[in-house]
Structure 1
Amino acid sequence: MNDRDEAELIRTLARAAESAPEPKGDLVVTIRRRRGRRTRRRVQSALAVAGVIAMIGGGTAVARGAFFDRGGEGQVVSRATSSTEGSPLVTPSPSASPRRVVRPAAEVWPSAVFTIPAKAADGWRYRPVTGLSATELLLTAESSFEKAGRLEVYDTVTRKSTVLTDMPATGVKGYFVQGYEVGADSIAWWGETPNNSDRWADFWVMPRSGGTPKRVGEVTGDLSRVTRIGVTSDSVVWSVTGGGIYRMPMSGGAPERVEGTDGLHLLSWPLAVDFGEKEGGDVFKNQSKVVDLETGRVTEVKAPEGVTSLRCGPIWCFGDGSDEGDGTLVQKLDGSDGKILPGLFPAPYMKDIGGRFGMLSVGGERGTGGYFPSRVVYDPDSGFVAGIGTGNGGSLGRGISSSPTSILYWDEGKKQVTECKTVDGRILPPQASGEPVPRGEGTACSMKEVGGGKELTVVNLLAVPPTE
């Protein structure tokens, strides 16, 4: 499980705490009250996430350490009184929500689901980036965790991989690639040193067909606080945390600000929006426009009253419709074709995938034959809902492209288990401020992922026919 997945899981658990219906009343008052509660609930939910507390000999033990670690291993921090091993981490549905039966993506879109090796022949781990076509995947091969050594293309028909390039050695200590972007003719990426205080980033580009990468240049200060990148025929473009979009020619030269982009963030070139995922502002704020930076066209987004966290792709928007109903609001940019999806709840920052679909959490009873998905993908064009992941506690990944990826993946053979051991209760912190230090023996538990490592199940949304 990578850092992006960890943050998303915490946000989803926070969303779970918000699912209970609230009294109806004046809408403005209700929204203000709800927002105040949400802020508190996000903190409370992060603490109440799938932990195990045991009472032994009168001593209460609370496991110490970080809940998530690299690869899903680490000790649990929790105040939850119990949890069920392997239970799906999804939003519980209010009792009023109808039962929704979810079928696996392999049944809904059989042409879009397949398996690939989890590792290359030399043992390097594969990490999907995005789909290049309905039958081709862009992958990185990692020599160690998140250390990409190669870029490869995997053909799902021939089940063979072709090396596009060996990743260049930067010579920069602590350097990690942060995101890749596929253009019509080129593949670009950017990197930084995320584990130190340097405010620095650089950009690379290579032919889409393969070849030697070229370092375009580097930036420092505020220009290095990259949120997303894009690539055109002659430039690398990127948006920054505080808003604004910049361009750097592939031929070299100083970065320049793209005119008229104050407050804008890249979605997928040439589209920009007025909300950035690293903005650090109000996560409940609604997106209000989509801007085409090539034509200058501005499309205003119409959000219904009471809807929050509205996020839009090129055509469709998804938002928190819990003030309008029990679920997710889906609509087109102009507000047409809007409806509430009962029992489906938006996952912040992951609503738009593949430029057409929404990734959502599912609540209530679901599945057939014991199937419980980790998430669902909703297709507004067809109305189909497809389950992804297994809900057995194993992590669910998404491609690491800068633009909304078309790839989702998981390891069917991997599951999350709880391991506990008896410890001296005195080494564990009290459950709450002012409470006495636990005495006697206690149980410290940790959760880790076990098994798997042979194959990845991949959903390539580029392989979903437009009419399905």
Structure 2
Amino acid sequence: MRDRDETDLVRALRGAAGGAPEPAGDMLTAIGDRRRRRSHRRARSMLAAAAVLVVIGGGTAVARDVLPSGGGEGVSVTGVAADPSSPAADPSEGTGKTPEMSVDPVAEVWPKAVSTIPAKAADGWKYRPITGLSATELLLTAESSFEKAGRLEVYDTAARKSTVLAEMPAPPGVKGYFAQDVEVGADSIVWWGKTPNNRDEWADFWVVPRTGGTARRVGEVTGARARVERIGVTADSVFWSVRAGGVYRMPLAGGSPEYVAGTDGLHLLYWPWAFDVANGREGEDWDRNQTKLFNLETGQTVAVNAPDGARGLRCGPVWCFGASGDESIVQRTDGSDRRALPGLSGRMEYTPLAGRFGFFSLSGVTGRDAAGEEIEDAHAPLAAVYDPITGRTAGVGKRDPSGGGGIGTGTSSSPTSIIYWDEDRRQVEECKVEDASSAPRSAPSGAPLPTGKVTVCSTTEKGGGKEFTVVNLLAVSPTE
């Protein structure tokens, strides 16, 4: 699947999701990439947010911020014309290239990085991974209801034990409040919150010591300064970038927000680095190449040397991933050590995970049968992680017998170190024959509608909910 196809699919699904009703029940199936348009996610159902969803069946389609709620979504009708203007309507969409490399499971490539954790706390609150604190410590939120984070916990994968770090309270008198992205600093952990179900341009910031304790509200902002995109924290300040570009700071001790001079058009990557492309803002040109990084602490600028023909180049301080033609590429920011990545053409994260790893979808398609139907490897991983230092590739996620499956990334503000999935959750397709007159219609305006009997199929997600398999990239040594 070419990056351009993936982008079109994402935009189409986002548009469909925008008018969905309030979600009902548990949609914690494929979780990740909450940075993209997170403040609008509370009002989604049929195409709900909080996810990287890998939909695989005759190929792979990667959709950011989209997650089926498990209530019969994903309806397909045999015999009813599909809207050709929809990127998802073409069955060849997202098939991608047949993988040209053998991808070993992550448990074989980086066994120390893989663990299982419970999906729920002892009191039944549901866990949502954020990022790694160390090679054996995972930062989690515990949610009392869908995306309603109520506390921070640390799970020790060696001791297999969870410890409460802090409560995440709502400010007094604020209705419809939801905590948003969490960010880990050297001494503190910060997060921001807002009221996403109303039109107020308002946000606030909270801080707690990294060792735990009582969370303290730093302050609040309104207007354009409340259009928070990503956050960072130092010993004395919380920083954030806004969707239109530009970085602000507020002292942790409280005080007025200040604009950081010289940050026009810049967006936080993670402290102290900012770059010149937006973090998934709707309307952003995904094919646009990043041209620089700026160190907010020292004032240093690192130029990015993009090769001719590159698209969507996104970089940390050292490594960049992008596309050229139908292949993905990796290089250092100065353009050195550039190489193609055959078989890895669908990026699931644009910025490198944990500052260095590429994250790609895998189609699982191995060829076509005599009738021209695609043949899938039901045991192929859903996705792959690539380490540019060692050149090793590891397969992540479990593909269910239907060819589908879900996989997600942790929800930290900066690029996370966590990838995770539910091994026991599966997609089940159920089909029935109906009169065409009562079946869902997606024919373009003016096209003839089908008559007679049609087969209507819907995909639901069943099982799971007990534990997650987690890959913590902080446990991967550069020498492995």
Query: Contact conserved, 1:74 with 1:448, CA < 8 A, in 2?
Result: yes
Provide the alpha-carbon RMSD of the alignment: 2.8
Q: Any conservation in 2 of the 1:203–1:218 contact (CA below 8 Å)?
A: yes
The answer on 1:373 being equivalent to 2:381 is yes
Tell me whether 1:191 sits opposite 2:199 in the alignment. Answer: no
> Closer, same or farther in 2 for the Cα pair 1:255/1:70, shift >3 Å?
farther
Instruction: Work out whether residues 14 and 41 of structure 1, in 8 Å CA contact, stay in contact via their aligned partners in 2.
Output: no
Report how far residue 363 of structure 1 moved. Answer: 4.7
Correspondences of 1:374-389 after superposition (within 5 Å)? 374-389=382-397
Q: Which among 250, 275, 278 is matched to residue 276 of structure 1?
A: 278
The equivalent position to 2:407 in structure 1, one of 384, 389, 396, is: 396
Q: Which residue of 219, 222, 234 corresponds with 2:221? A: 219
% identity of equivalent residues: 58
Shift of 1:192: 1.4
SS in structure 2 at match of 1:106: helix
2:166/2:213 contact within 8 Å kept? yes
Give the TM-score normalised by structure 2. 0.79
Decide whether the 8 Å contact of 1:112 with 1:462 is kept in 2: yes
Structure 2 vs 1, CA of residues 39 and 293 (structure 1 numbering), >3 Å: closer, same or farther?
Answer: same
CA distance, structure 2, for counterparts of residue 387 and residue 235 of structure 1:
39
In 2: Cα distance, 1:183 partner to 1:328 partner: 32
How many residue pairs were aligned?
A: 408
> What residue ranges of structure 2 are gaps of 5+ in the alignment?
17-44, 49-66, 81-91, 367-375
**Distance (whole Å) between structure 1 residues aligned to residue 13 and residue 148 of structure 2:** 34
Q: After the TM superposition, which residues 29-108 of structure 1 pair with which residues of structure 2 at under 5 Å, given as runs?
A: 66=46, 71-76=69-74, 92-94=95-97, 99-108=100-109
- Give the AA of the match of 2:459: M
CA distance in 1, matches of 2:79, 2:449: 18
Specify the alignment match of 2:247 in structure 1.
245
Cα 1:103–1:185 shift into 2, 3 Å: same
SS at match of 2:437: helix
Mapped to 1, the partners of 2:8 and 2:363 lie a distance apart of 22
Per-residue deviation, 1:315 = 0.9
User: Equivalent residue for 2:179?
Assistant: 177
CA contact (8 A) 1:180 1:187 kept: yes
Match of 2:420 among 405, 409, 421: 409
CA displacement 1:404-446 (0-9 Å, x = unmatched): 0001100001111122344443243252211244444444332
* Contact persistence 1:430–1:438 (CA under 8 A): no
Distance in 1 of aligned mates of 2:300 and 2:203: 30
Partners of 2:101 and 2:217 in 1: CA distance: 50
The CA distance in 1 between the partners of 2:307 and 2:417, in whole Å, is 28
- Residues 14 and 43 in structure 1, CA contact (< 8 A), matched pair in contact too: no
Match of 2:468 among 449, 452, 456: 456
Secondary structure, aligned partner of 1:466 = coil
Kept in 2, the 8 Å contact 1:99–1:364? The answer is no
Q: 2:232 is matched by which residue type in structure 1? A: G
Counterpart for residue 118 of structure 2: 117
| SS in structure 2 of the partner of residue 344 of structure 1 | coil
* Alpha carbons 1:422, 1:442 under 8 Å: kept: yes
Matching residue of 1:236: 238
Cα distance, 1:349 vs structure 2: 4.0
Higher helix residue share: 1
Distance 2:202 2:113 in 1: 38
Distance in 2 between residues matched to 1:127 and 1:159, nearest whole Å? 16
Q: Partners of 1:412 and 1:451 in 2: how far apart?
A: 9
Match in the other structure for 2:314:
311
Cα offset, 1:80, TM superposition: 8.2
TM-score by length of 1: 0.81
